[in-house]
Structure 1
Amino acid sequence: MRIRAIRGAITLDRDEKEHLHARTTELVEAMMRENSLSTDDLVSVVFTCTPDIVSDFPAAAARAMGFGAVPLMCAQEMAVPGALPLVVRVMMHAYLDRPRDEVAHVYLRDAVKLRRDLAQ
């Protein structure tokens, strides 16, 4: 097994804690499902948010999903003029038994605009 990086992103409709948690859960569950992963397969997960998201940490939603033993980190994306607003991005590192070009990256809602080449 190799360690693979799995990318994902989702957009929010508003910066509100419960909404952030719901959308983060939606994204993480899709990433786990599409790559047939369990938390035991995970090495670490890095979350980033655009600067307009301040209601909570997306890692808090992951902890509530049972990711308490997985190292989690949150950071802020660069404030680039014209960038898509209200975006949560994820880079999940996991032991995965498939070639890099078969990793399922997950982009949901308006985040498909970020990487049409990777969105399913």
Structure 2
Amino acid sequence: MEWIKIFESEEEAKNAVPVTKAKQLILNGQKICLAHTQQGFFAIADTCPHLGESLSKGTTNYLNEIVCPWHSYRYHLISGAECKHRSRDAQTFKVENREDGLYIGVPEKN
């Protein structure tokens, strides 16, 4: 796993991605959705497993889920599971808030 710094500080991340919002990042050639909830920052694959829409165009909810803007499928930001098990799980990524910034752990590019 490779840890990639995405923001210099948590404050910078909060300004760029307000609570209930999400932002698409491209790390190691992979589209990743960085989502912000009351519980913090989470990273999940940006492509909805249902029909492929960008999850970063959606919003987060109080259940710690990202809601797809197309059909309102909800994916838990820790497990990646769709709330009603109607599609396969979305891939999730670890997020770490360190002294020198906010990082996402992504598989190393081959």
Query: TM-score of the superposition, structure 2-length normalised?
Result: 0.33
More strand by share: 2
Q: Select the structure with the greater relative contact order (CA < 8 A; seq sep ≥ 6).
A: 1
More helix by share: 1
